[in-house]
Structure 1
Amino acid sequence: MHMKRFIITGKRGIGKSELLRNIIKECKLDFEGFTTFFDHTKNRLYLQINNKERYLIAERNKHGYMQSNIDELLKAAKAIDGLLTSQKSLIIDELGYIEQESPEFMEVIEAALRNAKKCLCVIRKDNNPFLKRIKQLPDYEIITLTSNNREVVRRKLIYAICNKTGNNSRPYYD
């Protein structure tokens, strides 16, 4: 049986989110989940669920550090808690350090990851306690994306997630 639950990590800017978008497009994935993104000023961090609901989960303070918005994290946690009511794939892009400010949010995310049948989860290359727990979840393969393995990883994930080869490439076998 091929594992269909993956955690993708790697250096900042290496292409983790781009890889995820490519796999979603290539596999035509029917998914539930969320993405995080900065506004154009890079001062506000949003979490968007299923390309719909949007929550302002952090803002840069006057010293330039990101500060969590606990109320918005709690609202997002409640919305995320309702996901995975079907057999859809779970997509998370991405988890980092902001989320560890809300125990409720972390609990919801860990439960969603434990319950997902298929999952692609992007996490920051960090070792905070929350991300350490995520990496220790059973039945997940952790993949560190590098500039040298990007294409091999893409082919492997396309083969594993949608059971086909990407761009008529040779499939990746474990």
Structure 2
Amino acid sequence: MITNFFITGKKGIGKSFLAKRVLHSIEKNYVGYKTLPYFIDEKPKGHYFHSLVELDDLENDLPFTIRDKKDSCIYIKEVFDIIGIPCLTKSLLSSEKIVLLDEIGVAESENIRYINLVETLLNSEKIVVGTLKKVNASLIQKVRERNDILLIDLDDANQEEAFQELVEKIGGILHEK
């Protein structure tokens, strides 16, 4: 049975927007994380990790990429140990049924503990809604190859039809639980 839903597509196509729209439409609380851009002097300088669960004594909103050239960045992989793993652990243990993973990319692809937690979430009873960066990276490939996910590629799909399909399928699962 499909309980994991992922959206992919080229940069800027609306993956995160669609995930947010679907979750807003379903009107259920959710946990997990989102990655957001940060700006200095109105110029994009990288992305930061924002946990949607309380992290106790840990600082939220830590940068994990720093743009060093127009199409290149430096990864701060330790951020996934510092707040990524606690965020995923608390999301797994949460009573909420839905977990948002927005976005899975390259920076976390070498962190075995983080990867194992993502796989544990995907194998759990939770409904996972996520976005995948459209690149070749080990964690992204592992997610793509699973047979328990619905993967929508916005490069090929109509966004409105994708929205309707996701709301219908996720709503159906929630109704069954």
Q: Which interval holds the TM-score relative to the shorter structure?
A: 0.7 to 0.9
Of 123, 127, 133, which residue of structure 1 is paired with 2:142?
Answer: 133
2:104 is the alignment partner of 1:95: yes
Q: 1:73 maps to which residue?
A: 80
| CA distance 1:62–1:14, shift in 2 (3 Å) | closer
Shift of 1:51: 6.8
Contact 2:53–2:90 (CA under 8 A) maintained in structure 1: no
Letter in 2 for 1:102: N
Q: 2:175 maps to which residue?
A: none
Of 140, 145, 158, which residue of structure 1 is paired with 2:154?
Answer: 145
Letter in 1 for 2:155: T
Shift of 1:55: 2.2
Q: 1:61 maps to which residue?
A: 68
Shift of 1:78: 2.8
Q: 2:47 maps to which residue?
A: 45
2:165 is the alignment partner of 1:156: yes
2:111 is the alignment partner of 1:109: no
Q: Which runs of 5+ in 1 are unaligned?
A: 164-174
Contact 1:90–1:116 (CA under 8 A) maintained in structure 2: no
Q: Which runs of 5+ in 2 are unaligned?
A: 55-59, 173-177
Shift of 1:15: 1.1
Letter in 2 for 1:61: D
Query: In structure 1, the residue corresponding to 2:160 is in which secondary structure?
Result: helix
Contact 2:6–2:150 (CA under 8 A) maintained in structure 1: yes
Partners of 1:75 and 1:137 in 2: how far apart? 27
Contact 1:55–1:73 (CA under 8 A) maintained in structure 2: no
> What's the TM-score, normalizing by structure 2?
0.80
| CA distance 1:104–1:66, shift in 2 (3 Å) | farther
Partners of 1:141 and 1:148 in 2: how far apart? 13
Identical amino acids, percent of aligned pairs: 23
> What's the TM-score, normalizing by structure 1?
0.82
Q: 2:16 maps to which residue?
A: 17
Partners of 2:67 and 2:152 in 1: how far apart? 30
Q: CA RMSD in A?
A: 2.3
